[in-house]
Amino acid sequence: MGQGRTRDDAHASGDDAGARHRTKLGDATAAYLGWTLPGGRRTSLRTVETLLAVKPAHIAALPHNERRLTSAAMILARTRHGLAAEAAGFAEAEAGWQPERDANLPATTLALFSANVSEAYATVGFARHGTHAARRTHEYAVEAGSDPLLYRAYGLLAGNRALAGEFVLAEEAIDHATALEEAHGWQQSPAAYMLLVGQVLLASARMDSVALARHARDLRETLPGEPTWQAHAALADAVRYGLLGRHSDGIAALVSVTHGADQHVVAPLIRNMILSYHSTLLIGRGEPQRALTLLEGRESSVEHTLCFDLQRASAHLQLGDDRKVLTTTDGCIRLGPRHNLRTLTPILLRRALANERLGHHTAADISFSDAFHLLHRSGAATPLLTLPRAEIDVLLDRLHANRPDLHGTIDELRQRVLTVPSTAPPSFVPPLLTEREVLIARRLREGATLSEIATALYVTRNTVKTHTASLYRKLGACSRDEAIALLERTGFYDNHT
């Protein structure tokens, strides 16, 4: 008789394979979720790969508790391994899946799930959604009576609140997490990631260079070699260098990440923060044109948790293009309460200065008053970075004259302004050039003759001579070499290639 397998044998074999896969997935889930809590052991690459390979459709038939835990692990694996947008989309879908059945699940399961949903949202800049999920994590952790879960919840609250610009609430969450660390003798662990996000943002807002150095060390030593943690450490160092006026050191720290081999697996939240702060350092060094080049084509996150329009406005303000400051940030103002609070305050300050320069004093006072109150409530100083002190003083003087009830608070802010590192003025601010003048400036640097430029632009040589003379007049240059040198000094050619 033949030795072929029967249909029943094949079915049984398939069941066995399915059972083995489910066991493997369950083990990976347990290991990865355990890693998010204090005392958890770092998981293997094979565990991560198992979770990344699973698609949402693969877990649809799992029992509800098992599905919630597995999806929590899948969301976090994607969040921490370069697939944050996919993780956030998956979190959105899973968070609304049969919520009525959650009432029968253990609070521990729900806390783990909400925690990883919160981190996924934070990593793509959805600070409001992340805060909401973090609050749910806290409620479930209290219900479960679990201090490790409570610690995770406080870390998520710290990170998301700081991202949202709610620094006082972020500091409260940090204090609660620190108290749990001390009570249990917990050492720094991967469970502290979002807590460290909050701590770095808070130290940056308060311009605390000592705390930034400590947090950078913690990030490096907790997970040596892990790309996002090392990138976050570089960011903390760069902010510290910026506060000390060492702009080039800060830029070098950031470039080591953005040009490194691991750049694509760094969490987008940190990657975009690095880009944003790189532009701030360039402006602080007096290179607004290069900052604009760096930001070219970059779009702000949905809630403007990362607001690249803010950085562009800072560059335009330094270049003296005051109307461009307003047009660049008009969309931010139109967002109303949907705009992130942390990035709104510096936008209001820059609009106040632009309006003041343009002679719109009432509009300047309104924007400045709003920013002033937000600065006072948050205790932050970083919104003042790259702004000219003398112009801030003018607005403070007028507010002082109009609001005698705020004299004490105004004096406090004056002291805060003095702690902000000064910004180097651009060595030369290029004038606004026409589109044709920009094209000619580029061709001149390439060594083309006026006749060659005329041929390339389909115009007469006399037309090119007219535009070239206009270009030299605007620059205050007497020759091609002098004009090119002036434009090179500003980074003009970086932005016009």
Taking alpha carbons only, the member of 299, 120, 294 closest to residue 193 is 120
Most confident of 117-126, 422-431, 433-442: 117-126
Verify that 129 and 51 share a domain, yes or no.
yes
Could you tell me how many residues make up the chain? 497
pLDDT at 184: 94
Q: How far apart are CA 474 and CA 490, in angstroms?
A: 15
Verify that 356 and 414 share a domain, yes or no.
yes
| The domain boundary residue, chosen from 206, 241, 265 | 206
Verify that 152 and 82 share a domain, yes or no.
yes
| 10: in domain | no
Verify that 180 and 321 share a domain, yes or no.
no
pLDDT digits (tens, 9 = 90+) for 284-337: 998 898 899 899 889 998 889 999 999 999 999 998 999 999 999 999 999 999
pLDDT at 483: 86
Verify that 402 and 439 share a domain, yes or no.
no
Assess whether pLDDT exceeds 50 at residue 1: no
CATH number at residue 452: 1.10.10.10
pLDDT at 17: 61
Assess whether pLDDT exceeds 70 at residue 486: yes
| The domain boundary residue, chosen from 390, 419, 448 | 419
Q: How far apart are CA 210 and CA 175, in angstroms?
A: 18
Verify that 195 and 62 share a domain, yes or no.
yes
Number of domains the chain is built from: 3
Question: Residue 330: how many CB atoms within 10 A of its CB?
Answer: 11
Verify that 439 and 409 share a domain, yes or no.
no
Verify that 463 and 394 share a domain, yes or no.
no
Assess whether pLDDT exceeds 80 at residue 361: yes
Verify that 187 and 54 share a domain, yes or no.
yes
Q: Going by C-beta distance under 8 Å and a sequence separation of 6 or more, which residues neighbour residue 64?
A: 98, 101, 102, 104, 105
Contact 31, 24 (CB under 8 A): no
pLDDT at 422: 82
Verify that 140 and 171 share a domain, yes or no.
yes
Q: Which residue range forms the structural domain that includes residue 325?
A: 286-419
Which is higher by pLDDT, 180 or 427? Answer: 180
Distances (CA, A) of 213 to 115, 216, 271: 28, 5, 19
- What own/partner pairs with CB < 8 Å and gap ≥ 24 does 298-303 have? 301/124, 301/125, 301/126, 301/272, 302/125, 302/126, 303/125, 303/126, 303/127, 303/128, 303/338, 303/339, 303/340
Mean pLDDT, the chain, integer: 88
pLDDT digits (tens, 9 = 90+) for 37-53: 988 777 888 888 889 98
| 181: in domain | yes
Query: What does the longest C-alpha to C-alpha distance in the chain come to?
Result: 105
Verify that 190 and 63 share a domain, yes or no.
yes
DSSP-H helix ranges across 264-405: 268-284, 288-295, 308-319, 322-334, 341-357, 361-378, 389-402
443: tokens are 């061709």
CATH number at residue 154: 1.25.40.10
Taking alpha carbons only, the member of 284, 278, 353 closest to residue 322 is 353
| 234: in domain | no
| 133: in domain | yes
| The domain boundary residue, chosen from 386, 419, 452 | 419
Q: Going by C-beta distance under 8 Å and a sequence separation of 6 or more, which residues neighbour residue 184?
A: 38, 147
H/E element, 248? helix 247-258
Q: Going by C-beta distance under 8 Å and a sequence separation of 6 or more, which residues neighbour residue 94?
A: 56, 68, 71, 75, 113, 117
| 158: in domain | yes
pLDDT band at 8, cuts 50/70/90?
A: low
Chain centroid offset of residue 54 CA = 29
| 153: in domain | yes
Q: Minimum mean pLDDT among 142-146, 396-400, 449-453: which range?
A: 449-453
Please give the share of the chain, as a percent, with pLDDT higher than 70: 94
| 429: in domain | no
Mean pLDDT of 352-373: 96
pLDDT band at 21, cuts 50/70/90?
A: low
Mean pLDDT of 392-417: 92
- Amino acid in position 229: W
336: tokens are 């109303």
| 164: in domain | yes
Assess whether pLDDT exceeds 80 at residue 10: no
Distances (CA, A) of 15 to 11, 21, 23, 25: 6, 10, 12, 15
CATH number at residue 329: 1.25.40
Which is higher by pLDDT, 493 or 354? Answer: 354
pLDDT band at 2, cuts 50/70/90?
A: very low
Assess whether pLDDT exceeds 90 at residue 36: no
Verify that 301 and 366 share a domain, yes or no.
yes
